[in-house]
Amino acid sequence: MENEQQNITRENIMRKRQLRARRRRRALVRLFFLLIFLGAVTAGVLFVGYTLVSWGSNLYHEYQTMYNGYTERQQARRGSIDPKFDGYTNVLVMGLDEGADEAEGNVKRADTILVVSLENETGKVRFINIPRDTWVNLPEGGNATKLKSVYALGGSPMMVRQVSGLLGISIHQYVAMDMAAFADLIDALGGIDLYVEEDMQYEDPEADLSIQLKQGYQHLTGQQAQQYLRYRSSELGDVGRVQRQQKFVKALYQKLLQFETIPKLPAVADIFKQRIDTSAEIFDSAHLANVLRSMSSDTPVSVMLPGSVAQDDDTIWVPDEAGIQKRMQELFPADTWNKSEEE
């Protein structure tokens, strides 16, 4: 009996040892697989992290390359920007004619020249109208010529530099459109209501221009708006054109602020995208959206470039340098410059 009891005890001890051994083996196997799993997870996390870092680095470099290209293009288009004008967004708007005659190479010239200045903080808008026949000296010892012809010589970038030097201000962006695009833009907005101050009758078959507008309140289509702006009376000449431009731009500004214009904006944006030359790019969109969103409903200030008609040629507008400097100081007072520098 004692031997049987001893045998049973030994067998129980052996079974317990074997059970513990099996448990240890299972634990080791589980630990082994757990380590493999944790190793795989760690490797996966490291791989994903490396991929994200690598992707982010590549994305950053691509963005930096794109932004560097953007800054280089803007530098080529508009030149350096004086920090004094950081509180403003100054846009040069150019309406282009249909092109000169064949003897002049059939090139486009700037028929309408306007600087739209928006004060970023207040949303106030100022228009600076520049007669197209303003007499300017070309850079680097070039000949003097009318401002409208500068576009034919060097396009929008050369116009930006010329207007910037003429006014003594920085130009941040430019917009250039031909008359056909302008007419379609006005039609997309639904036309403009305006008082036509006199009967306008003019025919120029060679330029394919026919102006037939009656005096009085009119709802102008895009084509009629084009005629109104291009009309040049014998009494006031280009001065009268600039005065009409000022009047028209104010009416257009009020049109843009109307609630019923909002559904028409996609069509306007499409015309800008497809048919209008502008320096604005995707990097400018956030700033421009904020500026446009804060535009004031106050009537814009509208000024004409100080100067006078040349004594020996009434088709030339001679700038008054002292008058221009004084007017620009009024439009861009030094206290706003100091404020933008402090910020």
pLDDT in tens, 250-268: 888 888 878 788 788 888 8
The answer to whether the beta carbons of residues 327 and 321 sit under 8 Å apart is no
Side chain identity, residue 292: L
49 to 38, 43, 52, 118: CA distances (angstroms)? 16, 10, 5, 46
Side chain identity, residue 51: T
What CA–CA distance (Å, rounded) separates 137 from 162? 9
Give the mean pLDDT of the chain.
Answer: 79
pLDDT: is 253 or 292 the higher one? 253
What average pLDDT does this structure show over 236-260? 80
What average pLDDT does this structure show over 20-31? 67
Q: What is the pLDDT of residue 248?
A: 87
The answer to whether the beta carbons of residues 245 and 112 sit under 8 Å apart is yes
228 to 174, 221, 225, 248, 277: CA distances (angstroms)? 23, 10, 5, 9, 23
User: Which residues, at least 6 apart from 74, have a Cβ–Cβ distance to it below 8 Å?
Assistant: 279
201 to 209, 210, 216, 260: CA distances (angstroms)? 11, 8, 14, 33
DSSP-assigned states of every residue in 220-282: E-HHHHHHHHH---TTTHHHHHHHHHHHHHHHHHHHHHSGGGGGGHHHHHHHHHHH-EES--G
Helices 150-167 and 2-78: crossing angle, nearest 10°? 100
Q: Report CA 326 to chain centroid distance, whole Å.
A: 28
What average pLDDT does this structure show over 292-317? 84
Q: What is the pLDDT of residue 256?
A: 80
- State yes or no: pLDDT of 49 exceeds 90: no
Share of the chain above pLDDT 70, in %: 65
DSSP summary character for residue 27: H
DSSP summary character for residue 152: H
Q: What is the pLDDT of residue 64?
A: 57
- State yes or no: pLDDT of 341 exceeds 50: no
Share of the chain above pLDDT 90, in %: 26
pLDDT: is 62 or 277 the higher one? 277
- State yes or no: pLDDT of 73 exceeds 50: yes
Place of tokens 């843009």: 256
Give SS3 for 29.
Answer: helix
pLDDT: is 8 or 148 the higher one? 148
Quick: pLDDT tens for 62-71. 545 655 665 6
pLDDT: is 330 or 202 the higher one? 330
Q: Which range has the worst mean pLDDT, 16-30, 118-132, 210-224, 294-308?
A: 16-30
- pTM here is 0.73
What average pLDDT does this structure show over 7-11? 63
CB atoms within 10 A of CB 287: 14
Position 247 confidence tier, pLDDT thresholds 50, 70, 90: confident
Sign, Cα dihedral of 61, 62, 65, 68: negative
Position 287 confidence tier, pLDDT thresholds 50, 70, 90: low
Quick: pLDDT tens for 79-106. 777 888 888 999 999 999 876 544 455 5
